[in-house]
Every structure is written in C-alpha cells, then in structure tokens.
Amino acid sequence: MQMNSIEYDLGPNERLYFLHIQKTAGTTFYFTLDEKFDPEQICPARFWRQFLRLAREDGKRLRQYRLFRGHFGCSIPQFFKRPTACVTVLRDPIKRSISHFQHIAREPKDRRHKLVKAHDMDLAAFAEHPETRLAILNLQTRSIAFDLGFKELKKIRRFAAQGVIGTLQPERSDDELLAIAKQRLDNFPFVGIVERFQDSLFLLSYVFGWYPIRQTRQLNKAPDRKASPALSPEVMETLTNLNQLDIQLYHHAKEQFDHRYTCMVTDLWQRYGDRPSDPVPDTVDDDTLFAWLQLHYESRMNQRTTQKLHTIDFPFSKALAGTGWHLREGAGSGWHLPSGLTEGGTPFRWTGPETTSIIDLPLASDADLTIKLCIINAAASDILDSLTLTANGHLVELETVLKQGTLAIIYGTLAKELLMGDRAFTRLAFSVNRTTTSSVGTSDQRLVGLAFHRLQIFPDSVEMVDEDFAHYVFPTNDMQWVQVADFVATYVQLREKVVAPGEFSKRFPKQFRSQTLPFSEKPDLNWVILHKGLLPSMDLPSLRWALSKMKPVFRNDVFIVLSNRSDVPRSHRLMQDWFLIQIQVWLTQLENQNLLPSPTRNALFQASKVLGKAINKWSNR
C-alpha cells in the first residue's frame, strides 16, 4: 500500500513530542500517546523545572526516551540531534482563555491562585493584571513559536518556574511569531482540534497507522458546574484583543485540519468503501470510519517489517496494539494517574469498558505455541469464570491451573493452524460475560472486567522465566520441599501434569496444576503432591479419585507423592502416610455431610495417627 501524503511512520530512532498547550484536553491526549510506548520510553518530565533538572543530572538517560510531552514550546527538538516529530492540539482561543482562568481560580497548586484569590479577580481583572494576563495573551502562538535551547534557557532568570508563559521573546514581532507558528503547524505530522476531538483521534490513528482510538475517557476534566454567564462586550473585546494572533492561528489550524481530514476520508473511502468509484459522501458516521481505520491499521502493520516470534513475554505495562483495555496501572505506569487509579505495586491493565479486549501480536505460525496468562484481580468471580479466548477468530481451549481468590494462572494451546493468515500479526480476543465497577464508594466508576498482569507465549522447547507470574515463592531453604520437588523432577515427563500446592508452580511451570482446583480424570495427570496439612483445602472428589487411581511413591514429614507411573521406584515407610490420608479423607467427608462433629473428627484423626505408626512398624519388619 502506497502511503498517503499525510501518513507518517515513526522511524526506529525517531522521537515523538506532544507540545502541550494548557487547557487543550492535554491530559487525555497524554495518555492516548502513552499507550503507544513502553513506560521506560516515556520521559516523565512535563514541566521545565523537571526537564532541566533531568538534562543537567542525567543527559544520557534523557536521550534514551522516545516520547516527550509537556509545556516546552518547540524547544524539545533543540535538545537532540536525532529527528523529532512534533504534534499538538489547539482550541478556540476565547474558550481556552476562559477555561484557563477558571482552572487557576480553583487550583490551589497553581502559583497564580493566591494572586487571583487575594485580589478577588474576575475574568476581566485576570485579563488585565500584568502577571496573570500572560495565561491568555496569545499563549498558543507563543508556545509553538518558542524554541530556545538549553544554553539560552539557563540565562533567563526564573525561567524554570515560569516556563513559556513567562517568556515573551520580545525580540520577535507579532507578525514573526505568527508566521513561525503557522509554518511549524504545517510541518507537524498531526495537529488536532479540541472542538473536534473524536475526529482528531481518528486522524491521529490514520496518520501514524495505529489501531483506531475512540474517546472513552476524559482525564483532568473540569468538575461539572453551571454554564458560565455570558461575557460582557467589554470582556469579549479584551479577550479578543489579547488573542489576535491565536485567533488567526486557530483559523489556519482548522483549515489545515479540514484538509487533512478530507484527505483521510477520501483515501479510506477509495480503499474500503462499498462503492469507491462513487463520489465521497459528505458525512461518514463514526462506526463506519472506525471499521475503515481498522482495515487501514492492518494494512500499515503488514507494510512494516516485523519479525514474527515464537516466544513473547508481555507484561501489561507495555505498549499495546489493540482495544478494550484501560490505562496501565501499578509500577511504571507513568508520571501520574487520574484520581482513583494506583501507582506502584504489580503492573496490570483492566479489561473494559467493552466485554471483549483485543491485542495483536506478531506470532510465528510454523509450530504450536503455549499461551500462559496471569490475572491478578477480577471485578467479580463470575467474570473470571466466563473468560474465553479466540485467536484470529478461532476458539482456544483454556485451562485454569491455579486459582487463589481472584488470582488465576491460565494456560491454552495456540495451534499453528490458528496462527496462519494474511496479516502480519495474530489477533487475540479475550471476552467476558460482563463488565462492572470495581470499586464501590470511590470516584473510580470505570466499567472493568479482569486485571491482566502478564502474558507469555512460547513453544514446548522453551522454558519461560516466570518470576512475576504467580504470587508464590518456592521455599528453597526448606529441605522437605526441596526433597519432594527434586524427586518428582527426576521422573516427570514434559507433557505430564503435576497437581501440587501453588509454590510448585515455580519448579514445574509447564506441568503445574493447583491442588485447590478440581482435577479428577484430567488428561495427562500423572502426579499428585499432597501437603499433609493442606488436605482440607482440596476438592474431595478429586482427592478420592487420585487415591483410587494412583499409588504412593514418595513421602517425607510434610508431603506424600502419588503417581500412576509404574516405572517410578517407591520410597520406604509409605504405609503410615497412606493410611492416615485415607482416614482423613473419610473423616472429612463425614464432617461435610454433618454426620460427624469437628471435635470428634479431630479426636478420631489423632487416634488414627497412633494406629498408623503401628501399621508402619509392622510393615517394616
């Protein structure tokens, strides 16, 4: 597919910089771009004080980032030798000025808030005061025209505290500032318009060949309030005079946006429309445009040189190609998160708000692959139980091998036949029966389903490292645990399943199945590692099945191991443990049927221990 003149492919060494102008829906746009980069690729600084400190203290680290976003004007490209693609979003200057005043009036952290409150400023006074008026005075034009480098910035007194707003660059006339800003907008790969925000997200998706973006969240949005009173003619005249350059720049940006949007719709119509030879329709609804952009994204993905992989280790903090996911949370999620979301701890993403969540991965199709999922939370237990997975539209059978509350480890097999297709990627679609709010009584009212922590895909020949996969640590210093693990490891075969406590998932990641899940008559089940103190937590029908189908082959003070393998040598002194387990299962069954009080069951079990020792002594004569 030949690229349209307005399409843009970021090079592997190219940076992307979002020039954020205050009160232009910037926070929502921040996270829209953040989703396209890994956390370690994103510069955390978004204000000059943070950026200059980072430039002084760790210039090497600064040069490694690929995404920058903040109130830096056009200075960011001056700091680097490698190319930098700049994008921005503009807003109607009068609306932006009013919004900026209202933000400062209600935000105590803003340095001008005290001044506004001390003088009881209204918008008219705010626009006239020599310090606060800079928040209005052609801010969009000045931001885009601002381009001082590191050496020049160091010479400006208090610049780190005031930033672009406090720097007028008086050596440039108004005509020069406007001409520079217009020329830069023409050279930016993308310029969005707040008043057409969803159209802007679609155009952004088209330009960079990303999965189409829907406006499902509004971050840092001003609290709901009554409509602002109509501006008096005098205030309107003041705001208009202060925004003469911005008004011209905004009209220029809207014309540019209209042209690029028309180019996009025309190209998509001609490629994917029902009757591409017909004239382009005057309007195209969002759902149709979204469908076209999905096809366009797939074509752009097929164009790119992407190595198909047999092995993928994907923490859900990473950049994600797909849809139906909320923002990354946990460690490394970014410089801040909206109210109600968490920073620190295990990284994850919630599925939602839709019931199907898609991720596209470049998988090789010449061999069967295993997929392993770690889910660390669920909005409800039925949602976790309802999870299904399709690969390129084909259902993948899943098996839950560990479940502890709302934590689950789930396996599936991606048959090579499911991975074949014309696309450069495999589409994995995770579906649940519903989504709901996860936090009652908080401001977080998002519709969510499951919290995915990690995904691994690998062939049988690869042993994946899974240190973060399950919240268990194998007790390597406890010889009772080490002995039983070493014994089973000596004889277990690759495709055999091992039922055991969760800690053994670290020693047998490919064979493991949790003892807390039902396992009777599971295929390829050859081993059951019984922790003597955890028998009450096991599924009784499964345990009875294991005792009837398998024989004890190993024991120590903590464990007894069952196997149906006839070629495994048996250790000594098994009869006592075998007898005690049979007795405990029988007594627990009577207790569950309300036929035996708990104190009586405990007394009988203690008595069985004495009898078991006698039997063991007799069997070892």
Q: 356 forms bridges with which residues in the sheet? A: 431
Q: Name, of 70-79, 169-178, 387-396, the range with top average pLDDT.
A: 387-396
Question: Which pLDDT belongs to residue 1?
Answer: 44
Higher-scoring residue by pLDDT: 495, 383: 383
Q: Which of 51-60, 205-214, 404-413, 439-448 has the lowest mean pLDDT?
A: 439-448
The sign of the dihedral angle between the CA atoms of 473, 475, 481, 483 is positive
Measured CA to CA, the distance from residue 614 to residue 619 in angstroms comes to: 9
Tell me: pLDDT of 410 over 90: yes
Average pLDDT of the segment spanning 342-367: 88
pLDDT confidence of 343, banded at 50, 70, 90? Answer: low
pLDDT range class, residue 315, cuts 50, 70, 90: very high
What average pLDDT is seen over the chain? Answer: 85
Instruction: Decide if 387 contacts 464 (C-beta within 8 A).
Output: no
pLDDT at position 515: 85
Distance from C-alpha of 477 to C-alpha of 341, rounded to nearest angstrom? 38
Classify the phi-psi angles of 350: left when phi > 0, otherwise alpha if psi is within -120 to 50, otherwise beta: beta
Kindly state the tokens that stand for 515.
């003892």
Q: How confident is the model at residue 61 (pLDDT cuts 50, 70, 90)?
A: confident
Whether 85 and 8 have beta carbons less than 8 Å apart is answered as yes
DSSP letters for 204-255: HHHHHTPPP------TTPPPP-PPPPPPPHHHHHHHHHHTHHHHHHHHHHHH
Classify 265 as helix, strand or coil: helix
Q: How confident is the model at residue 520 (pLDDT cuts 50, 70, 90)?
A: confident
How far apart CA 489 and CA 500 sit, in angstroms, is 13
Q: What is the mean pLDDT of residues 31-38?
A: 90
Per-residue tokens: 594: 């309300």
| Residue type (1 letter), 314 | F
Dihedral angle sign, alpha carbons of residues 292, 297, 300, 301: negative
- Which tokens is 385 given? 């139980």
Helix axes 244-272, 93-106, angle to 10 degrees: 110
Q: Is the pLDDT of residue 93 over 60?
A: yes
- Position 157 scores a pLDDT of 67
Q: Which of 210, 457, 465, 444 is nearest to 329 (CA)?
A: 444
Residue 338 CA neighbour count, 13 Å, CB half? 20
> For residues 388 and 295, what is the distance between their CA atoms, to the nearest angstrom?
24
Count of CB atoms situated within 10 Å of the CB of 116: 20
Q: How far is CA 468 from the centre of its chain?
A: 16
**Any idea which of 160-174, 201-215, 300-314, 442-456 has the lowest mean pLDDT?**
160-174
**Tokens at residue 170, please?**
């008086």
Whole-number pLDDT of residue 228: 58
A 10 A CB-CB count for 58 gives 11
* pLDDT tens-digit map of 470-499: 567 889 999 999 999 999 999 999 889 999
**Strand, coil or helix: 125:** helix
Would you state the pLDDT for residue 186?
96
pLDDT reported for residue 335: 47
What is the distance, to the nearest Å, from the Cα of residue 367 to the centroid of all Cα atoms in its chain?
Answer: 28
pLDDT band at 584 (very low <50, low <70, confident <90, very high): low
Tell me the three state secondary structure of residue 497.
strand
Q: In this model, does residue 33 exceed pLDDT 50?
A: yes
CA distance 14 to 421: 31
Q: In sequence order, what are the residues at sequence separation of 6 or more whose Cβ sits closer than 8 angstroms to the Cβ of residue 562?
A: 527, 528, 530, 546, 547, 550, 551, 552, 553
Single-letter residue type at 458: F
Task: Output the pLDDT for position 420.
Answer: 85
pLDDT, residue 609, reads 54
Q: Among 453, 457, 483, which Cα is nearest to 470's?
A: 453
pLDDT tens, 100-116?
999 999 988 888 898 89
The number of beta carbons lying within 10 Å of the beta carbon of residue 306 is 11
278-295 pLDDT, tens digit each: 888 888 999 999 999 999
